Amino acid sequence: MLEEIKQTARVAGYLWEKGWAERNGGNITVNITESLDEAVKSLPAIAGPFPIGTVLPCLKGCFFYCKGTQKRMRDLAEDPMSSGAIIRICDDCASYEIIADKVVMPTSELPSHLSVHNYLLAKGSPYRASLHTHPIELVALTHNRKWMEKDVATRMLWSMIPETKAFCPRGLGMVPYMLPGSVELADATIKVIDDNYDVVMWEKHGVFAVDTDIMSAFDQVDVLNKAAQIYIASRNMGFEPEGMSDAQMQELSTVFGLPK
Protein backbone atom coordinates (compact mmCIF):
# COMPACT_ATOMS: atom_id res chain seq x y z
CA MET A 1 0.00 0.00 0.00
CA LEU A 2 2.73 2.46 0.96
CA GLU A 3 4.58 1.82 -2.30
CA GLU A 4 1.42 2.47 -4.34
CA ILE A 5 0.85 5.75 -2.52
CA LYS A 6 4.52 6.73 -2.97
CA GLN A 7 4.19 5.97 -6.68
CA THR A 8 1.09 8.16 -6.82
CA ALA A 9 3.06 10.98 -5.16
CA ARG A 10 5.83 10.63 -7.76
CA VAL A 11 3.33 10.84 -10.60
CA ALA A 12 1.71 13.90 -9.02
CA GLY A 13 5.12 15.56 -9.00
CA TYR A 14 5.70 14.71 -12.65
CA LEU A 15 2.32 16.19 -13.59
CA TRP A 16 3.15 19.46 -11.83
CA GLU A 17 6.64 19.67 -13.34
CA LYS A 18 5.22 19.20 -16.84
CA GLY A 19 2.68 21.96 -16.37
CA TRP A 20 -0.23 19.54 -16.65
CA ALA A 21 -1.65 20.23 -13.17
CA GLU A 22 -2.29 23.94 -12.72
CA ARG A 23 -3.79 24.92 -9.36
CA ASN A 24 -5.91 21.91 -8.28
CA GLY A 25 -6.25 20.55 -11.81
CA GLY A 26 -6.39 16.82 -12.41
CA ASN A 27 -7.37 13.78 -10.38
CA ILE A 28 -5.98 10.38 -9.40
CA THR A 29 -7.94 7.40 -8.11
CA VAL A 30 -6.25 4.05 -7.43
CA ASN A 31 -7.91 0.80 -6.37
CA ILE A 32 -5.59 -0.39 -3.58
CA THR A 33 -7.80 -3.20 -2.27
CA GLU A 34 -5.37 -5.98 -3.17
CA SER A 35 -2.45 -4.28 -1.43
CA LEU A 36 -4.14 -3.84 1.96
CA ASP A 37 -3.87 -6.22 4.89
CA GLU A 38 -6.83 -7.09 7.09
CA ALA A 39 -5.74 -4.67 9.81
CA VAL A 40 -6.10 -1.71 7.46
CA LYS A 41 -9.30 -3.04 5.91
CA SER A 42 -10.91 -3.27 9.34
CA LEU A 43 -10.04 0.28 10.39
CA PRO A 44 -13.07 2.20 11.64
CA ALA A 45 -14.34 5.08 9.55
CA ILE A 46 -13.15 8.55 10.53
CA ALA A 47 -15.86 10.20 8.41
CA GLY A 48 -18.93 9.23 6.48
CA PRO A 49 -20.76 7.49 5.02
CA PHE A 50 -21.12 9.86 2.09
CA PRO A 51 -23.34 9.19 -0.94
CA ILE A 52 -21.60 8.46 -4.23
CA GLY A 53 -24.63 9.47 -6.28
CA THR A 54 -24.94 6.14 -8.06
CA VAL A 55 -24.90 2.42 -7.27
CA LEU A 56 -21.71 0.55 -8.21
CA PRO A 57 -22.21 -3.15 -7.37
CA CYS A 58 -18.73 -4.34 -8.37
CA LEU A 59 -17.05 -2.01 -5.88
CA LYS A 60 -18.54 -3.49 -2.70
CA GLY A 61 -15.79 -3.62 -0.07
CA CYS A 62 -13.19 -2.00 -2.34
CA PHE A 63 -10.64 0.54 -1.09
CA PHE A 64 -9.30 3.50 -3.05
CA TYR A 65 -6.64 6.14 -2.62
CA CYS A 66 -8.14 9.36 -3.96
CA LYS A 67 -6.73 12.82 -4.50
CA GLY A 68 -8.67 15.33 -2.43
CA THR A 69 -11.03 17.93 -3.79
CA GLN A 70 -9.40 21.36 -4.24
CA LYS A 71 -6.01 19.79 -3.49
CA ARG A 72 -2.96 20.54 -5.61
CA MET A 73 -0.81 17.90 -7.28
CA ARG A 74 2.35 19.72 -6.18
CA ASP A 75 1.23 19.35 -2.55
CA LEU A 76 0.20 15.71 -3.04
CA ALA A 77 3.72 15.03 -4.32
CA GLU A 78 5.17 16.20 -1.00
CA ASP A 79 2.57 14.73 1.37
CA PRO A 80 0.05 12.38 -0.27
CA MET A 81 -1.92 11.71 2.91
CA SER A 82 -2.55 15.41 3.49
CA SER A 83 -3.82 15.94 -0.05
CA GLY A 84 -5.63 12.63 -0.41
CA ALA A 85 -7.37 9.92 1.56
CA ILE A 86 -8.16 6.22 1.64
CA ILE A 87 -11.84 5.45 1.26
CA ARG A 88 -13.86 2.24 1.66
CA ILE A 89 -16.94 1.53 -0.46
CA CYS A 90 -19.83 0.58 1.81
CA ASP A 91 -21.90 -2.58 1.51
CA ASP A 92 -24.75 -0.67 -0.13
CA CYS A 93 -22.39 0.09 -3.05
CA ALA A 94 -23.86 3.60 -3.07
CA SER A 95 -21.77 5.31 -0.39
CA TYR A 96 -18.22 5.45 0.96
CA GLU A 97 -16.35 6.10 4.20
CA ILE A 98 -12.99 7.74 4.80
CA ILE A 99 -10.72 5.48 6.85
CA ALA A 100 -7.29 7.18 6.67
CA ASP A 101 -5.38 9.34 7.39
CA LYS A 102 -7.34 12.58 7.64
CA VAL A 103 -10.78 13.76 6.66
CA VAL A 104 -9.82 14.84 3.15
CA MET A 105 -12.87 14.78 0.92
CA PRO A 106 -12.19 13.04 -2.41
CA THR A 107 -12.27 14.79 -5.76
CA SER A 108 -15.62 16.14 -6.93
CA GLU A 109 -15.19 13.84 -9.93
CA LEU A 110 -15.20 10.76 -7.67
CA PRO A 111 -18.51 9.40 -9.07
CA SER A 112 -17.15 9.38 -12.62
CA HIS A 113 -13.82 7.83 -11.56
CA LEU A 114 -15.57 5.14 -9.51
CA SER A 115 -18.00 4.43 -12.35
CA VAL A 116 -15.03 3.63 -14.58
CA HIS A 117 -13.47 1.40 -11.90
CA ASN A 118 -16.81 -0.42 -11.51
CA TYR A 119 -16.85 -1.01 -15.27
CA LEU A 120 -13.25 -2.26 -15.28
CA LEU A 121 -13.91 -4.78 -12.50
CA ALA A 122 -17.13 -5.93 -14.16
CA LYS A 123 -15.27 -6.80 -17.38
CA GLY A 124 -12.42 -8.53 -15.52
CA SER A 125 -9.83 -5.91 -16.44
CA PRO A 126 -6.52 -5.87 -14.50
CA TYR A 127 -6.54 -2.06 -14.59
CA ARG A 128 -6.64 -0.50 -11.13
CA ALA A 129 -5.59 3.12 -11.67
CA SER A 130 -7.24 6.11 -13.29
CA LEU A 131 -5.61 9.44 -14.10
CA HIS A 132 -7.11 12.71 -15.27
CA THR A 133 -4.71 15.48 -16.27
CA HIS A 134 -4.32 18.43 -18.66
CA PRO A 135 -1.44 17.75 -21.11
CA ILE A 136 -0.98 21.03 -22.97
CA GLU A 137 -0.29 19.87 -26.52
CA LEU A 138 -2.94 17.15 -26.55
CA VAL A 139 -5.58 19.59 -25.29
CA ALA A 140 -4.48 22.08 -27.96
CA LEU A 141 -5.21 19.51 -30.70
CA THR A 142 -8.86 19.29 -29.62
CA HIS A 143 -9.41 22.94 -30.52
CA ASN A 144 -9.22 21.87 -34.17
CA ARG A 145 -12.30 19.88 -35.17
CA LYS A 146 -10.46 17.50 -37.50
CA TRP A 147 -8.47 15.95 -34.64
CA MET A 148 -11.70 15.04 -32.85
CA GLU A 149 -12.71 12.65 -35.64
CA LYS A 150 -12.30 8.99 -34.73
CA ASP A 151 -8.64 7.85 -34.89
CA VAL A 152 -7.44 10.85 -36.93
CA ALA A 153 -5.31 12.09 -34.02
CA THR A 154 -4.30 8.51 -33.18
CA ARG A 155 -2.88 7.89 -36.64
CA MET A 156 -0.97 11.18 -36.59
CA LEU A 157 0.42 10.61 -33.11
CA TRP A 158 1.46 7.02 -33.88
CA SER A 159 3.29 8.23 -36.99
CA MET A 160 5.47 10.77 -35.19
CA ILE A 161 7.80 8.29 -33.45
CA PRO A 162 7.75 4.45 -33.23
CA GLU A 163 7.50 4.40 -29.42
CA THR A 164 4.05 5.99 -29.54
CA LYS A 165 2.47 3.00 -31.25
CA ALA A 166 4.59 0.55 -29.25
CA PHE A 167 3.68 1.98 -25.85
CA CYS A 168 0.18 3.31 -26.64
CA PRO A 169 -1.03 0.57 -28.99
CA ARG A 170 -4.72 1.31 -28.47
CA GLY A 171 -4.38 4.95 -29.43
CA LEU A 172 -6.44 7.90 -28.25
CA GLY A 173 -10.21 7.79 -27.95
CA MET A 174 -12.24 10.99 -28.30
CA VAL A 175 -15.15 12.37 -26.27
CA PRO A 176 -16.82 15.64 -27.33
CA TYR A 177 -17.06 18.41 -24.76
CA MET A 178 -19.31 17.65 -21.79
CA LEU A 179 -19.64 19.23 -18.36
CA PRO A 180 -16.62 18.22 -16.21
CA GLY A 181 -17.55 15.72 -13.51
CA SER A 182 -20.95 14.96 -15.02
CA VAL A 183 -22.55 11.54 -15.22
CA GLU A 184 -22.83 12.08 -18.98
CA LEU A 185 -19.06 12.51 -19.26
CA ALA A 186 -18.48 9.37 -17.20
CA ASP A 187 -20.86 7.35 -19.37
CA ALA A 188 -19.28 8.64 -22.58
CA THR A 189 -15.80 7.82 -21.26
CA ILE A 190 -16.81 4.27 -20.41
CA LYS A 191 -18.23 3.80 -23.91
CA VAL A 192 -14.95 4.90 -25.48
CA ILE A 193 -12.89 2.68 -23.16
CA ASP A 194 -15.22 -0.16 -24.11
CA ASP A 195 -14.30 0.55 -27.74
CA ASN A 196 -10.77 -0.62 -26.86
CA TYR A 197 -8.96 2.55 -25.73
CA ASP A 198 -6.87 3.07 -22.60
CA VAL A 199 -6.52 6.84 -22.98
CA VAL A 200 -9.53 9.05 -23.65
CA MET A 201 -9.34 12.68 -24.77
CA TRP A 202 -11.95 15.04 -23.35
CA GLU A 203 -12.41 17.87 -25.87
CA LYS A 204 -10.93 21.21 -24.70
CA HIS A 205 -10.36 19.73 -21.24
CA GLY A 206 -7.83 16.95 -20.74
CA VAL A 207 -7.23 13.22 -20.84
CA PHE A 208 -8.51 10.30 -18.80
CA ALA A 209 -6.21 7.26 -18.73
CA VAL A 210 -6.51 3.83 -17.14
CA ASP A 211 -3.87 1.15 -16.60
CA THR A 212 -2.62 -1.48 -14.17
CA ASP A 213 -0.98 1.17 -11.98
CA ILE A 214 -0.76 4.94 -11.91
CA MET A 215 2.77 5.12 -13.34
CA SER A 216 1.71 3.08 -16.37
CA ALA A 217 -1.29 5.36 -16.90
CA PHE A 218 1.02 8.39 -16.72
CA ASP A 219 3.48 6.79 -19.16
CA GLN A 220 0.79 6.40 -21.82
CA VAL A 221 -0.20 10.06 -21.57
CA ASP A 222 3.45 11.14 -21.53
CA VAL A 223 4.23 9.20 -24.72
CA LEU A 224 1.15 10.52 -26.54
CA ASN A 225 1.90 14.10 -25.57
CA LYS A 226 5.53 13.75 -26.72
CA ALA A 227 4.19 12.77 -30.15
CA ALA A 228 1.94 15.85 -30.14
CA GLN A 229 4.97 17.98 -29.25
CA ILE A 230 6.92 16.56 -32.21
CA TYR A 231 4.02 17.36 -34.54
CA ILE A 232 3.68 20.92 -33.23
CA ALA A 233 7.46 21.48 -33.30
CA SER A 234 7.52 20.44 -36.96
CA ARG A 235 4.69 22.84 -37.79
CA ASN A 236 6.49 25.61 -35.90
CA MET A 237 9.56 24.92 -38.07
CA GLY A 238 7.43 25.64 -41.10
CA PHE A 239 6.58 22.22 -42.51
CA GLU A 240 3.99 19.48 -42.24
CA PRO A 241 5.74 16.42 -40.74
CA GLU A 242 5.84 13.44 -43.07
CA GLY A 243 5.24 10.86 -40.35
CA MET A 244 5.73 7.12 -40.60
CA SER A 245 3.91 5.37 -43.40
CA ASP A 246 1.03 2.94 -42.88
CA ALA A 247 3.35 0.13 -43.96
CA GLN A 248 5.96 1.10 -41.36
CA MET A 249 3.34 1.24 -38.61
CA GLN A 250 1.87 -2.10 -39.68
CA GLU A 251 5.34 -3.60 -39.46
CA LEU A 252 5.55 -2.42 -35.83
CA SER A 253 2.17 -4.02 -35.07
CA THR A 254 3.20 -7.30 -36.69
CA VAL A 255 6.65 -7.58 -35.12
CA PHE A 256 5.57 -6.58 -31.62
CA GLY A 257 2.10 -8.15 -31.67
CA LEU A 258 0.29 -4.88 -30.98
CA PRO A 259 -3.51 -4.97 -30.57
CA LYS A 260 -4.38 -2.35 -33.22
Residue numbers annotated as active site: 109
Among residues 178, 234, 231, the alpha carbon closest in space to that of 201 is found at 178
Among residues 71, 72, 256, 34, the alpha carbon closest in space to that of 167 is found at 256
Cβ-in-10-Å burial (0-12, 13-18, 19+) of 260 comes to middle
Report how far residue 183's alpha carbon sits from residue 12's, in angstroms, rounded to the nearest whole number: 25
CB burial string 180-216: b at 16+ within 10 A, e below? ebeeebbebbbebbeeebbbbbbbebbbbbbbebbbb
Report how far residue 4's alpha carbon sits from residue 83's, in angstroms, rounded to the nearest whole number: 15
Residues in the chain: 260
